Structure 1
Amino acid sequence: MALTSSTATDTITPELAVWAMEVAGDGVWEFVDVDPADPLGESAPAKYSPRLQAMLAAEAQPTVGAWLAAIHPDDRLHVEAARKRQMAAPDGLVELEYRLSVAGETRWLHERSHARPATHPGRWRLLGVVRDVTEQRRAKERAQRDTDLMLQTQSAAQVGGWEIDLIANELYWTEETHRIHEVPPGFVPDLAQAINFYAPEHVPVISEAVARCQAGETFDVELDLITYTGRRINVHATGRPYYEDGKLTRIYGAFRDITDIKQRENDLREKLARIAQQDEAIRVLSTPIIQLWDDIITLPVVGALDPERATQIMDRLLDEVSKLGARFAILDLTGVDAIDTTTADQILRITRAVSLLGARGLLCGVQPGIAQTLTELGVDMAGLLVYRNLQEALRGCLGSLSRPSGR
């Protein structure tokens, strides 16, 4: 249905104008006799261009009511308010967006319309041009959703971004980067300010890193930063160059608050250090060295004796022999019921190692099971001093010390 017009030009007819809008993808409507008291009267006649009529699935004789029925229920009040504004301010251009729901499908329309006096006194003509902007709206909503998700992700991970436009010499921070710096709303940083946020001892480091990035290198640093409120935090900053047509135009990167991570790492290191201290204390307690007399020490072994513990015993015993200058080291096995052949061999190695330090290694308190294992080794035990118990071992050592050739 072609639209009529109260004015004409020498070059463009109303029909040609409507056709041009159709080609451009626009639809045209006209409400030809509108009552200002009821601008959306359902029985008022309306004219639609072919594209718009097809969109509305309107009958051959459309009315304003057909248009109103197609408007999404949530948008009707919005459209009605716009029509009333048109009546109150004739010739004013109204621009708005709303949804049409036809045949189960919802489409977004962008409208530009205005009111003119109609033929009948006190009545109005409304003329509007609409464009289907559904895909643009969907793209905008997707972009907004992606932006919102990115902002939420940045906030959750405490990761922000930054960019330096080398052409315009401008620095841009994302919202999360602003939050990490604890700057007030509306704060606009420049490169010098951004660098000076770092702790004084780290300013040269970040300055050099940014300079290298401006020369085409990437950087990855962990430094301390003093926020706008004076709080000291740990941050992880990365930067990389960006080229356009072979020319370096920007550098950008990520910026992350790692204070909590660093604190957890420090806590973990402290816990590991305490565990190591406790392990050392346990090791010392499990291999106690007792000085029985001048030049005489003993190491009583209690409980299971495996290769790992035998190694600990050797380390402890040799260390004490060297530190105290002992001449005799008694390994008391009274509290050990049995050992395997590997551990038995290590016991013999301990006594031989002691002799290399100029001392004499002795065994006492050997239980039957241990004696059997030592025998099964088939090694030469000649020269190895073995006593029944610690008392006899001490007496033997003292006797050797009392003789000039006691060593």
Structure 2
Amino acid sequence: MHRDPSAERFFRFQSAPCLEVDFDGAIGAANPAFCQVAGRSEDELQAAGLVALFAPDARAEVSAALARGAAREVVTFDLPLVRPEGELRWLEWRGVTFPEHRVFRIVAHDVTALWRAEAEARERERFLGTLLGNLPGMAYRCRNDSHWSMEFVSAGCEAVCGYGVDEMLENAKVSWGDLIHPEDRGGVWRDVQAAIDARAPYHLKYRIRTKSGEARWVEEQGRGVFDTSGVFLALEGFITDVTVRMLAKQELEAKLRVIAEQKEQIQHLSLPIIEVWDGVITLPVVGKLDDQRAERIMQGLLDTVVRTQSQHVIIDLTAVEEVDGAVAEHIVRILRAVQLLGAEGALSGMQPKVAQALVSLSADLGGARTWPDLRAALRASMRVPARAVGAKR
């Protein structure tokens, strides 16, 4: 095809890649810009032809585009050519037809950088979609309104609350605010607003009602998003179902309460303070006597002496096989405290080892009487005439 000199110069020095191709795909001319993009000289391009520049699976589409262009006087397609080293260069091919010469004049716009950026963006989106879809919970972006209107929510929302993405986006069928238990809504709102004001992350645990009506516990972590000028944009975070964990915690707490109650009952049973007669109470000591237990014994005895106005307190040591200095001190303190309330303290059932230990420790029993067994102590106490209430107070 004949071109005037000025058109030839324009073709050659055009910054965009340009081609002249006949209806059969033979390349008649290629400017330097196209040669650079294709990685071939003009002679090599003319020898190869246009269709051969593409991957085998794309060549039929190129031939079809040329055929359409011949009929419509415009040729257009978007396909990557393959450079000799195998690199793909994505081009937008746009040309006009000159039927009288049976040629196309084509300008190829190199959009490789844009295509790569879009491919990377698609790959990131795919990766994030896969990642979020496999997380045990739902990622979200929502507005800071009373409905917590969702602008984005991951597919995990269905596992958390039973509603799908399409049902939750922009409150299409339900809002997250509607799902929060009425008793927890106020606390969630206050905690999130405080975190936004402080520009700090928030960490919440609260109850929701699922699509099926089931009550669940969820844990939410998130924070406010601000632009570079400090303007608040949205809330972003992650919500996961922690119902199993919370129920296990509640069950554990209930068991611990039962254990504590049982322990208290056992401790109470381990101090069997018995009012055996008017004005006479006994305390059989069983097991090890440590600081904590001695304190409970003293408190229990003193409270019972005051409440019953007893005049005789018998501490039975039949089940105590041996004592050390600390235990001896506890016994002495208990007897002295009883005496300060006006009652007479006595010890019964003292084993030989216990007696030897008290003697070797020079324990001062404060004049408290001792009896070989509880029966003798009771018999002696009940023979003593009862005094008027408060006579020694």
Equivalence for 2:170: 189
Q: 1:371 to 1:223 in 2, by over 3 A?
A: same
Deviation at 1:130, TM superposition (A): 4.5
Structure 1 residues 322-354: Cα deviation after superposition (integer angstroms, max 9, x where no partner): 555544333222222222211221122222233
Cα–Cα, structure 1 residues 47 and 287, in superposed 2: closer, same or farther, change >3 Å?
farther
Measured after TM superposition, the shift of residue 270 of structure 1 is 0.8
Q: Which amino acid aligns with 2:181?
A: A
**Structure-2 change in CA distance of 1:209 and 1:313 (3 Å):** closer
2:214 maps to which residue? 231
SS at match of 1:337: coil
Tell me, which stretches of 5 or more residues in structure 2 are unaligned? none
Q: Is the 8 A contact 1:182 1:227 kept in 2?
A: yes
Q: Is the 8 A contact 1:237 1:253 kept in 2?
A: no
Alpha carbons 2:325, 2:361 under 8 Å: kept: yes
SS of 2:313's equivalent in the other structure is strand
- Contact kept in structure 1, 2:162 and 2:211, CA below 8 Å: yes
Between the aligned partners of 1:290 and 1:244, the Cα distance in structure 2 is 75
Instruction: Report the more deviating stretch, 123-132 or 295-304.
Output: 123-132
Q: Does 1:350 align with 2:301?
A: no
1:290–1:297 Cα contact (<8 Å) kept: yes
- The separation in 2 between residues aligned to 1:102 and 1:353, in whole angstroms, is 105
1:278-293 to structure 2, matched below 5 A, reads 278-293=262-277
Aligned equivalent of 2:249, options 262, 265, 271: 265
Aligned-residue offset at 1:273: 0.8
- The one-letter code of the counterpart of 2:154 is E
Tell me whether 1:199 sits opposite 2:181 in the alignment. yes
Bigger mean CA offset, 332-341 vs 377-386: 377-386
Given that 2:19 and 2:27 are in contact with CA atoms closer than 8 Å, whether structure 1 keeps it comes out as no
Structure-1 separation of matches of 2:279 and 2:318: 22
Structure 1 residue 383: Cα displacement? 1.5
- What is the aligned partner in structure 1 of residue 128 from structure 2? 147
Supply the distance in 2 between the matched residues of 1:384 and 1:394 (Cα, whole angstroms): 14
Please name the residue that 2:91 is paired with. 111
Which of residues 231, 241, 249 in structure 2 aligns to 1:248?
231
Does structure 1 retain, via aligned residues, the 8 Å contact 2:20–2:104?
Answer: no
Name 2:77's counterpart in structure 1: 94
Structure 2 partner of 1:16: 13
Q: Is the 8 A contact 1:160 1:254 kept in 2?
A: yes
In structure 1, the residue matched to 2:355 is: 371
Counterpart Cα distance in 1 of 2:95 and 2:311:
117
Give me the whole-angstrom Cα distance separating, in 2, the residues matched to 1:193 and 1:270: 34
Identify if the C-alpha distance between structure 1 residues 207 and 281 changes in structure 2 by more than 3 Å, giving closer, same or farther: closer
SS at match of 1:274: helix
More deviation, 87-96/212-221: 212-221
The answer on whether the counterparts of 2:27 and 2:50 sit within 8 Å (CA) in structure 1 is no
Going from structure 1 to structure 2, the CA distance change for 1:247 and 1:12 (only over 3 Å counts) comes to farther
Asked whether the equivalents of residues 345 and 377 of structure 1 are also in contact (C-alpha less than 8 Å), the reply is no
Tell me the distance in 1 between the aligned counterparts of 2:365 and 2:100: 132
Contact 1:163 1:253 in 2 (8 A): yes
Amino acid at match of 1:252: L
Runs of 5+ consecutive residues of structure 1 not aligned to the other structure: 22-26, 36-43
1:277 is aligned to 2:261: yes
Instruction: Please list, as runs of the form range in 1=range in 2, the aligned pairs for 1:382-397 lying within 5 A after superposition.
Output: 382-397=366-381
CA separation of 1:358/1:221 partners in 2, compared to 1, >3 Å: closer, same or farther? farther
Q: Distance in 2 between matches of 1:7 and 1:354?
A: 129
Matches of 1:395 and 1:46, distance apart in 2: 134
Q: Distance in 2 between matches of 1:236 and 1:259?
A: 9
Instruction: Write the distance in 1 (CA, Å) between the matches of 2:76 and 2:176.
Output: 47
How many residue pairs get aligned? The number is 377
Instruction: After TM superposition, give the deviation of residue 162 of structure 1 in Å.
Output: 2.9
Contact 1:213 1:239 in 2 (8 A): no
- Report the CA distance between 1:80 and its aligned residue: 4.0
Q: CA deviation at 1:178?
A: 4.4
Percent of counterpart pairs with the same letter? Answer: 23
User: CA offsets per residue over residues 151-187 of structure 1, 9 Å max, x none?
Assistant: 157x32x353333289xx9752422684444334423
Q: 1:197 to 1:383 in 2, by over 3 A?
A: same
TM normalised by structure 1 equals: 0.68
Name the TM-score, length of structure 2 as normaliser.
0.70
Counterpart position of 1:162: 141
Q: CA deviation at 1:53?
A: 6.1
Offset from partner CA, 1:207-259 (integer Å, 9 cap, x none): 56667778777666544333444333334556755544655342424353443
Question: In structure 2, the residue corresponding to 1:302 is in which secondary structure?
Answer: coil
Q: Equivalent residue for 2:319?
A: 335
C-alpha distance 375-202 of structure 1, shift in aligned 2 (>3 A): same
The change in CA–CA distance for 1:402 and 1:165 in structure 2 (over 3 A counts) is closer
Q: Distance in 1 between matches of 2:4 and 2:278?
A: 127
Following the alignment from structure 2 to structure 1, what is the Cα–Cα distance between the partners of residues 243 and 5? 73
- Is contact 2:318-2:349 (8 Å) kept? yes
- Kindly state the Cα deviation for residue 50 of structure 1 after the two structures are TM-superposed: 6.1
Tell me how large the CA RMSD over aligned residues is.
4.9
Instruction: Provide the C-alpha distance between the structure 2 equivalents of 1:209 and 1:224, rounded to a whole number of angstroms.
Output: 15
Shift of 1:395: 1.6
Q: Which moved more, 1:363-372 or 1:179-188?
A: 179-188
User: 2:187 and 2:282 mapped to 1: Cα distance?
Assistant: 57
Distance change (3 Å), C-alpha of 1:292 and 1:7? farther
CA contact (8 A) 1:170 1:190 kept: yes
The letter for the 1-side match of 2:89 is L
CA distances 1:255-280 after superposition (whole Å, capped 9, x unpaired): 53443443232122112112212322
